[in-house]
Homo-oligomer: A and B are copies of this chain.
Amino acid sequence: MKTIGKLAKELGLGVETIRFYEREGLIKQPQKPQNGYRVYDDSITKQLQFICRAKALGFTLKEVASLMSMGGDCARVESLGLQKLRIIQSKINDLQGLEVVIKEMTNSCRNNNDQSHCPIIDSIK
């Protein structure tokens, strides 16, 4: 049993962030004793770790909420995962395209001897 500050510290989150997740319906407000302070047990830690991991995997908070509400509906979870996968793959593609373009640009810059203007600026114009 711990209070919100300890929980936050334990997970590397801000107190406000935990309250925010509660407001957003990602976690439930725990029982509060006489003094009005939130008191958490260990199950909340798992839930918050779930949220953090899913976030790290690129899911938005809304999607995390969906995932959590799906319980164990494997087909639906899988479909959300596949959808994320497609998005991630297309992002990778885009970024690799950018990588090539920017590499070319900085190379042309490196080889430029004319101080009066820059091939990147010129080419982008």
Contact = CB atoms under 8 A, between A and B. Distances in A.
A11 B119 CA distance: 24
A125 interface: yes
Number of copies: 2
Given A92-B92, A109-B81, A72 B102 contact: no
Nearest to A120: B77
A120 B75 CA distance: 10
A3 interface: no
Interface in A65-102: 67, 70-75, 77-78, 81-82, 84-85, 88-89, 91-92, 95-96, 98-99, 101-102
A30 interface: no
A77 B117 CA distance: 10
Contacts of A105: 81
Contacts of A32: none
